[in-house]
Structure 1
Amino acid sequence: MSEDKNTLPETARGGPIARFMALPTDSVAKTLFVAVTLCLVASMIVSAAAVALRPTQEINALKDKQINILQVAGIYDPEKDVLDSFAAFEPHVLELSTGAFTQEFDAASFDDRAAADDPATSIALEDDPAGIVRQGKYVTVYLLRDDAGEIDKLIMPLHGYGLWSTLYGFIALEENGNDIFGLQFYDHAETPGLGAEVDNPRWKALWNGKRLSDEDGTLQISVTKAAPAAGKDYHIDALAGATLTTNGVHNLVRFWMGEAGYGPFLDTLKAGDVQ
């Protein structure tokens, strides 16, 4: 008695699996199957690795940011623990429009970049020389005090568009809020050997000792090929062969140091109202 065809295993009935297995190894169907399977497995491995490494990446990013703050303030020592050295700074969340510190946010965890993207904590810019589109209403500034407890330096974040990317960095000012101690960028994608020369120690050293504003309080700082009429005390030489990056740095520094940026805060500082 012959066996009912419907009761046979799928492979014996010539089903789709059996037909697929019977195909030549180099067939289009099998080649596509292997390629898709490998892509799926690889994407799963990459995704799992990204999730597992995210905490480490975030810690490293924070450490790099802290190192840059230490460097721009002139107190970085590679022989010392970064966290221990960074403890010397006093972080405050600053409300830009009033120039006053706010207690609305925790300064230790406040995310400046996220705040700048959130409509609740940022504004869309109509006059936007720095090319940032939206500006956060609040930013984190860092005070460094001397042994007597007086303000020694102020470290303030700034950012703006260059040629290819947004440059994120910090500017360090002396206690008078006018003399520049240093400028340093920690995140950008400018052209290596040209715009990326913003990282060149020799160019960064040009900022030390420059002034933001003249005796009348007029903002004079410039990053240009030719020195302005105000004089060399307010001028940093342009980057050779990187006109657009230079223009970007010029615009972002003047934007953040002006009334739309830290102007109200610096006025408060000069009036002696920042303790």
Structure 2
Amino acid sequence: MEEKSVNKTNSNGYTFMFAIIMVLVVASVLAFTATSLQPRQYENVRQEKMQSILNTIGIETDRPGAQALYDQYITEEIAIREDGSIAEDVDAFAVDLAKEIKMEDSEQIYPLYVANYEGEEYYIIPLRGNGLWNAIFGYISLEDDINSIKGATFDHLGETPGLGAQITKAWFRESFVGKKIFDETGKLEGVSVVKGGASTDHEVDAISGATITGDGVSTMISERLRHYIPYFQEQTDMKLTE
């Protein structure tokens, strides 16, 4: 009887080995691509951060133009400790707020950016807090009275489109302009996102259907700003309290 030959390319072993080789090849290509793109991704994040900081003082720019304008108008990057002292050995721009807020207050670093634009000085403070589904974040700038808001930017990682995600819209951001963060006695009031219409210098109109996100914005602003009070007390003659 003639023995039938077996086609090795149809065997289970060959199929299994081919699959392993393809997985390794694809993984290698993906790893190489990711590594190659890291510098570009890092630079994009840097430029977007500069864009957001500049936007709070009224400077609009695209990503490629952000570095030059940032260097022109941001005069200081300050890393502040909880007691108001300056951490001279820390790069304020490199501080990752997502990591910092997980630490104890006394261990955190609080970045502050000082800008000089059109003859006026501004203080820009990074923000980060919790929305409905995930983190919300942004920047808020104060005029040189350390009370009046010059501008604000907000973003999110997962708020509901058409509802909480509207914190990124111009109309919402612009509603913070001119609002006050301290009352007449120097007590920190922050800015509250309220339903039914804003009626004071410490309130802005809420986004319909996005109560939890709005509350998150209110809490985020007050929680972040309070950490800067010791520094501003040290640098000015203002009588400020939490």
Q: TM-score range by the shorter chain?
A: 0.7 to 0.9
The alignment status of 1:266 with 2:232, answered yes or no, reads: yes
Question: 3-state SS of the aligned residue for 1:90?
Answer: strand
Unaligned runs of 5+ in 2: none
Match of 2:165 in 1: 196
One-letter code aligned to 1:156? I
CA distance in 1, matches of 2:97, 2:202: 29
Match of 1:104 in 2: 89
1:179, 1:212 within 8 Å by CA — same for their partners in 2? yes
Match of 2:66 in 1: 82
Match of 1:140 in 2: 111
CA distance in 2, matches of 1:112, 1:271: 30
CA distance in 2, matches of 1:136, 1:170: 21
CA distance in 1, matches of 2:194, 2:116: 33
Matches within 5 A, 1:176-191: 176-186=145-155, 188-191=157-160
CA distance in 1, matches of 2:58, 2:178: 13
RMSD between aligned alpha carbons? 2.8
Match of 1:165 in 2: 134
Tell me the alpha carbon deviations over residues 40-78 of structure 1, each in whole angstroms, 9 at most, x when there is no partner: 221111111000110111011101110111111112244
Q: TM-score, normalised by structure 2?
A: 0.83
CA distance in 2, matches of 1:31, 1:167: 48
CA distance in 1, matches of 2:182, 2:131: 23
**Structure label with greater radius of gyration:** 1
1:96, 1:264 within 8 Å by CA — same for their partners in 2? no
Matches within 5 A, 1:199-218: 199-218=168-187
Aligned residues: 232
Tell me the alpha carbon deviations over residues 214-243 of structure 1, each in whole angstroms, 9 at most, x when there is no partner: 101222221121468xx4211011221112
1:185, 1:199 within 8 Å by CA — same for their partners in 2? yes
Match of 1:123 in 2: 103
Match of 1:175 in 2: 144
Match of 1:7 in 2: none
Q: TM-score, normalised by structure 1?
A: 0.74
2:131, 2:159 within 8 Å by CA — same for their partners in 1? yes
